[in-house]
Amino acid sequence: MAEEALRQFRLHQVLLIPTGQPPHRPVEDGVPGELRYEMVKLAIAGRPGLSASRAELDRPGPAYTVDTIAQLEREHPEGVVYIVGADIFSQIEIWHEWPRLLTMCPFIVAPRPGVDLHAFSQPPFDRAEIHFLNIAPIALSSSEVRRRYRLGLSTAGLVPEAVDRFIRERGLYGAPRSSS
C-alpha cells in the first residue's frame, strides 16, 4: 500500500508510523513500541521512499491521529497526506476530533473488501479531500497475521522475511520461539 501510494501519487516519501499508546485499546499482544518500530525498519529496509517514524512513540499520552497530523505538518511544511485503509477510514466518526481531522490534509484511501468506496462521497466525508489507490482491495489484516503466528500457521508471503525472523526469534504475537 505504501509503495503504491508513493508511486501513484508521486509522493516525496511515505512515513510508516507505529502507534504509540492507542487511545481506545491496548497494543495488540503487548508488543512494545520499540519492537514494532524495529519491525517497521526491517520491513522497509532497502525500499526507497519509505521511512520509519517515531512520531507517536516519542510523544506521551494517547496517540491521536489528529495530533500526529498536526506534528507532521509542522515538521513537513511541504505538505502531508494521510494514507489509510477504507475499512478504518469508514469509522472516522469515532476518531478523536474527527471533524477537524477531515479538513487537515488530503487522504489516500486503499480499497478493502466489503467497503463501498462510494460511501466516501457522502457526509461526513464530503468535507475531506480524498483520493483512492488504484489497486485491488487488500484482504490481509494485521489481526489475521497475528492470529496465524498465535496458531503456528504459515505467514509466508504475508510478512517480509526479516520481520518474520524477528518475530519468531523473540516469540512475539504468541509465535513459538525459534533460535537464530
pLDDT, tens digit (0-9, with 9 covering 90-100), for 147-160: 999 999 999 999 99
Both 115 and 88 in one domain: the answer is yes
Q: Rounded to the nearest 10 degrees, how much is the dihedral formed by the CA atoms of 70, 59, 34, 108?
A: -10
Q: What is d(CA 5, CA 133) in angstroms, rounded to the nearest whole number?
A: 7
Asked whether residue 18 falls in the same domain as residue 83, the answer is: yes
Domain identity same for 105 and 154 = no
Residues 32 and 103 both lie in one domain: yes
- The reported pTM is 0.91
What proportion of the chain, given as a percentage, has pLDDT over 90? Answer: 82
Same domain assignment for residues 69 and 107 = yes
Mean pLDDT of 165-174: 94
User: Residue 141's pLDDT is what?
Assistant: 87
Residue 69: its pLDDT value, please? 97
The pLDDT value given to residue 138: 86
Percent of the chain, pLDDT > 70? Answer: 96
Same domain, 153 and 135: no
Indicate if 79 and 161 belong to the same structural domain.
no
pLDDT number for residue 48: 96
> d(Cα 125, Cα 99) in Å, to the nearest integer?
9
Predicted confidence (pLDDT) at residue 27 exceeds the cutoff of 60? no
Specify whether 100 is located in the same domain as 146.
no
The verdict on 31 and 49 lying in the same domain is yes
pLDDT score of 25: 62
Same domain? For 160 and 105 the reply is no
In this structure, what CATH number is given to the domain that contains residue 124? 3.40.50.620
In the predicted model, what is the mean pLDDT of the chain?
93
Claim to verify: residue 75 and residue 59 sit in the same structural domain? yes
Residue 180: the pLDDT is 58
Number of domains making up the chain: 2
**Edge-to-edge strands, sheet with 82-85:** 82-85, 107-110, 130-132
Domain of 9? 2-139
> What pLDDT digit, counting tens, does each position of 64-121 carry?
999 999 999 999 999 999 999 999 999 999 999 999 999 999 999 999 999 999 999 9
Instruction: Specify whether 87 is located in the same domain as 10.
Output: yes
C-alpha cell at 142: 494485521
